[in-house]
Chain A
Amino acid sequence: MAPLDFWTIVVAGAFALCAPIIFAGLGEIFLERAGGFNVGIEGMMLVGAVAGVGGSLAGGFWVGLAAGILAGGVLGLLLGLATAWGKADMIIVGIAIGLIGAGLSIALYQVLAPASQGNVTAPVQPAFELSLLAGIPLIGRGLAGAGLLFYLAVLLVAVSWWVLNFTRFGLRLRAVGDDENVAVTRGISPRRFRTIAALIAGALAGLGGAAVSLSSIGTFTPGMTGGAGFIALAVVIIARRQPWTLLVGAFVFALFNSLALLSQTQNLPLPIELYQALPYLATVAVLCVSSRRSWAARRTRIVPA
């Protein structure tokens, strides 16, 4: 296979894979901007995935997406109430919600499709081909066939960027995250904004989960999100909580995933596991470098001459 053809396929796979990470990451950006943190994205995504299948069975693809958003939102609200109003520890609550989500998704799927009835298949995203773009070399084919969910994700990135930077709501949300005490003196309730941010985070994670199950499979398997929630968490850190940078970061991670998937069928020189591990290795490296830089900056700043 010619190298260009090979990379065209890899890029096409990445376009199709990155939507769930973008959705979940956007939610996490809202939450982290308001001073929160969510280790339970994975659980929210799983519940979103199973709700997406249920909704899609009941009323088609769009109802499925709405169901995913709703299901994730419920868990997000739980996170918000527990951390902002109950003052519970964010990381423990995150782990708890991860457990609840993982268990609940399996339980719900057993209710939805009892083992005796065999598997169910729900309607997936409608065909959406931008044949205009297909002529561009390397990325054209991927862009044309990326699917509705990818373009929805790009749209949401733009909306999130606008909301965070150019609306009163976004300003207040950031104020709560930057300095809670100042926010209080300005009459902004940190609790309310944290809860809303958690709700948004849950809803978007649920949407991300629905995007996993409804992109092309149309059914649910336990643990089907395969760590996408944790990848989203890492991408948000690398992207420094900026929506557009998140888009790029999610794409890079999806590129590695796509390589790993492809290496199962193609004969690539390096072991599959290395491609699977590369995104995590890259995140660790970025984390070390960025931490080290700020660490060094702090030292030179604080230590008197």
Chain B
Amino acid sequence: MSDDKSGGVRRLNELTDAAARSLSSSFRAGGQSARVIIVLYVLAALAIVGLLVVGTGGDLGVALGGWVRGAFGTGYNTVQTLSYATPLVLVAIGVAAALKAGVITVGAEGQMLIGATTATIVALWLGPSVPLWLGLPIGAIAGMLGGAAWAYLPGLGRVRWGVNEVLCTLLANYLAISLLNYLLRTVLRNPAGSATPQSAPLPDGFLIPQLPLPARLHIGAILVVVIVLLALWWSRGRGAFLVGVFGQRPLLAARLGLTPARAVVSTMLVSGAASGLAGWMQLAGVDGRLQPGVSAGVGFAGIAVAVLGRGNPLGIVVAAIAYASLTTGATGVQVATGTTPAAIGTVTQGVLLLAAALIVAAPAVRRAARRSASPPALPAVSRHVPPSLPQSDGNRPSENQTDSQMGSTSSTGTDHLDHAGTGIDRDADRHENLESAHGPA
């Protein structure tokens, strides 16, 4: 048997590395030139959805009309779509920061739940005597702290022990659900009694006021706009550049002053805080009380939106509105055709995400086709160096080692960083990437 004892985990870590690097680079490189492939994928995606509509006995034109009406047809529907998009934007901005650092977090769902839970606990504990101007920031901060705490543990596991963050955050979602169910059954149970598990309604001082619009959209949406602007400002600064460098070349980032531990933990905290804030908004702006369905799939959808928006704050806003319109529009499609089920919205979201993943990878396909005759490229330096990897020169560095030595033993540290330099030169493609990214910064 060729497996060593930790084969599964090691293999998974390598996979996560590769995925993280490709995602991180797709966030950096803007317009790729493989337009033909992209158009083909989009057409294929549209064809699949069209086939589904026709297959269930619907008319394509009617369905499309129904979708537009359902999503944007009336003022009410448009606001409804924006209302769906609000938490998506927030989650996606957080997830995008982590993805840029090459950290794949799928834990937004659980972080939202925990954020909403802590906000509920704080609100019910402080009670109705708190005025609105104090209740809103307290709730928001409680939500952010809760979400960040739930993200901190997987981040810590990753930098301390190399625990795979994809699995860890995924499992944390389930733990969050169990915790929430437990609290709703015991401590937080609605004292007035109810058929479904839910908490008592939040005091008025903690509820987010609604905007004066035909449908429900709370003023948290304005905060989201501010956060988008902040993210836009941040994405042009040195911090975002360093995080991006870390996503591609952890060793180079260390040389520029960003240690792996700081990069991973800080981006995880940001994504957790953003998700927790989104959880608070759903709680205090939409539901008004804690329920098990407070996250309602927004966490997973946020990951999709982050990828579709390619990590760019404005791209994320567009992607979130498009994504939300698929949910609201699907109801319109069901009403218009009468036969096509509303679940078509979920399918379309999946197809869209699949198409986006293929589009992001399109340049890689072309590259692979171009050099299919040439020998395979040398493997890039990995964040997790497998123990069985033949170490040709015996001291090829890894980020793990830098992690342990960074700042403690300066002489060996610089020695390894020099090796890091050679590691970069080995891989011409990545070098190019880095340089092109350096331009606008």
The stretch of A12-20, A57-65, A122-130, A231-239 that contacts the partner chain = A231-239
A236 to B9 Cα, complex, angstroms: 10
Q: Is B434 an interface residue (CB 8 A)?
A: no
Q: Is A290 an interface residue (CB 8 A)?
A: yes
A99 to B172 Cα, complex, angstroms: 20
Q: Which residue of A lies closest to B366 (CB)?
A: A87
- B343-360 vs A: 1/0 string, CB under 8 Å? 111111111011011101
Q: Is B325 an interface residue (CB 8 A)?
A: no
Number of residues on chain B facing chain A (CB within 8 A): 78
Task: List B363-416 residues whose CB lies under 8 Å from chain A.
Answer: 364-365, 368, 376, 384-385, 387, 391, 394-395, 397-398, 400-401, 404-405
A294 to B9 Cα, complex, angstroms: 9
Q: Is B3 an interface residue (CB 8 A)?
A: yes
A174 to B3 Cα, complex, angstroms: 10
- Once the chains bind, are B350 and A96 in contact (CB under 8 Å)? yes
**In the assembled complex, how far is the CB of residue B163 from the closest CB belonging to chain A, in whole angstroms?**
4
Number of A-B contacts (CB under 8 A): 223
**In the assembled complex, how far is the CB of residue B251 from the closest CB belonging to chain A, in whole angstroms?**
14
**In the assembled complex, how far is the CB of residue B332 from the closest CB belonging to chain A, in whole angstroms?**
16
Most buried by B among A43, A96, A237: A96
A-chain residues with CB within 8 Å of residue B186 when the two chains form the complex: 271
A-chain residues with CB within 8 Å of residue B130 when the two chains form the complex: none
- Once the chains bind, are B19 and A91 in contact (CB under 8 Å)? yes
Interchain CB contact (< 8 A) of A237 among B167, B175, B343: B167
- Once the chains bind, are B344 and A107 in contact (CB under 8 Å)? yes
Contact of A273 with B179 at beta-carbon distance under 8 Å, contacts A96-B353, A181-B376, A237-B167 already known: yes
- Once the chains bind, are B304 and A99 in contact (CB under 8 Å)? yes
- Once the chains bind, are A240 and B6 in contact (CB under 8 Å)? yes
- Once the chains bind, are A99 and B162 in contact (CB under 8 Å)? no
- Once the chains bind, are B5 and A240 in contact (CB under 8 Å)? yes
- Once the chains bind, are A298 and B387 in contact (CB under 8 Å)? yes
A78 to B350 Cα, complex, angstroms: 12
- Once the chains bind, are B168 and A90 in contact (CB under 8 Å)? no
Interchain CB contact (< 8 A) of B341 among A102, A107, A302: A107
B-chain residues with CB within 8 Å of residue A85 when the two chains form the complex: 365
Q: Is B212 an interface residue (CB 8 A)?
A: no
A294 to B2 Cα, complex, angstroms: 16
Q: Which residue of A lies closest to B404 (CB)?
A: A299
Q: Is A287 an interface residue (CB 8 A)?
A: yes
Interchain CB contact (< 8 A) of A89 among B5, B344, B357, B398: B357
Q: Is B22 an interface residue (CB 8 A)?
A: yes
Contact of A35 with B387 at beta-carbon distance under 8 Å, contacts A106-B346, A240-B7, A293-B6 already known: no
- Once the chains bind, are A110 and B9 in contact (CB under 8 Å)? no
- Once the chains bind, are A87 and B341 in contact (CB under 8 Å)? no
Task: List B159-207 residues whose CB lies under 8 Å from chain A.
Answer: 160-164, 166-168, 170-172, 174-175, 178-179, 181-182, 185-186
B-chain residues with CB within 8 Å of residue A97 when the two chains form the complex: 350, 354
A-chain residues with CB within 8 Å of residue B398 when the two chains form the complex: 298, 302
Contact of A230 with B174 at beta-carbon distance under 8 Å, contacts A99-B347, A111-B56 already known: yes
Interchain CB contact (< 8 A) of A96 among B178, B351, B365, B404: B351
The stretch of A147-155, A204-212, A274-282 that contacts the partner chain = A274-282
**In the assembled complex, how far is the CB of residue A57 from the closest CB belonging to chain B, in whole angstroms?**
18
The stretch of B10-18, B112-120, B142-150, B223-231 that contacts the partner chain = B10-18
**In the assembled complex, how far is the CB of residue A275 from the closest CB belonging to chain B, in whole angstroms?**
9
A103 to B348 Cα, complex, angstroms: 8
B-chain residues with CB within 8 Å of residue A290 when the two chains form the complex: 5-6, 9
A-chain residues with CB within 8 Å of residue B8 when the two chains form the complex: 32, 236-241
A-chain residues with CB within 8 Å of residue B345 when the two chains form the complex: 103
Interchain CB contact (< 8 A) of B167 among A88, A90, A177, A234: A234
**In the assembled complex, how far is the CB of residue A46 from the closest CB belonging to chain B, in whole angstroms?**
11
Residues of A contacting B: mostly? helix
- Once the chains bind, are A110 and B341 in contact (CB under 8 Å)? yes
Q: Is B104 an interface residue (CB 8 A)?
A: yes
Residues of B contacting A: mostly? helix
Q: Is A288 an interface residue (CB 8 A)?
A: yes
Q: Which residue of B lies closest to A99 (CB)?
A: B350
A237 to B1 Cα, complex, angstroms: 17
B-chain residues with CB within 8 Å of residue A104 when the two chains form the complex: 343, 347
Task: List A57-89 residues whose CB lies under 8 Å from chain B.
Answer: 78, 82, 85-89
Q: Is A92 an interface residue (CB 8 A)?
A: yes
- Once the chains bind, are B357 and A82 in contact (CB under 8 Å)? yes
Q: Is A100 an interface residue (CB 8 A)?
A: yes
**In the assembled complex, how far is the CB of residue A277 from the closest CB belonging to chain B, in whole angstroms?**
4
**In the assembled complex, how far is the CB of residue A290 from the closest CB belonging to chain B, in whole angstroms?**
5
A-chain residues with CB within 8 Å of residue B346 when the two chains form the complex: 99-100, 102-103, 106
Q: Is A98 an interface residue (CB 8 A)?
A: yes
Q: Is A93 an interface residue (CB 8 A)?
A: yes
Interchain CB contact (< 8 A) of B347 among A82, A103, A287, A303: A103
A residues bordering B, Cβ < 8 Å? 32, 35, 37, 39, 43, 78, 82, 85-93, 95-107, 110-111, 165, 174, 177-178, 180-181, 184, 227, 230, 233-234, 236-242, 271, 273-274, 276-277, 280-281, 283-284, 287-288, 290-295, 297-299, 301-304
Subset of 6 A-B contacts with CB under 8 Å? A86-B358, A92-B356, A107-B341, A238-B8, A276-B178, A287-B164
Query: Lowest 7 CB-CB distances: which A-B pairs, in order?
Result: A103-B346, A99-B350, A100-B350, A103-B347, A106-B343, A277-B178, A96-B353
B residues bordering A, Cβ < 8 Å? 1-3, 5-12, 15-16, 19, 22-23, 52, 56, 104, 106, 157, 160-164, 166-168, 170-172, 174-175, 178-179, 181-182, 185-186, 300, 303-304, 307, 341, 343-351, 353-354, 356-358, 360-362, 364-365, 368, 376, 384-385, 387, 391, 394-395, 397-398, 400-401, 404-405
Q: A86-B357, A303-B404 are in contact. List 19 more A-B contacts (CB 8 A).
A: A35-B15, A82-B358, A88-B354, A88-B357, A91-B16, A95-B300, A100-B347, A100-B350, A100-B354, A102-B350, A107-B347, A110-B343, A165-B1, A287-B167, A288-B161, A291-B161, A293-B6, A295-B161, A299-B404
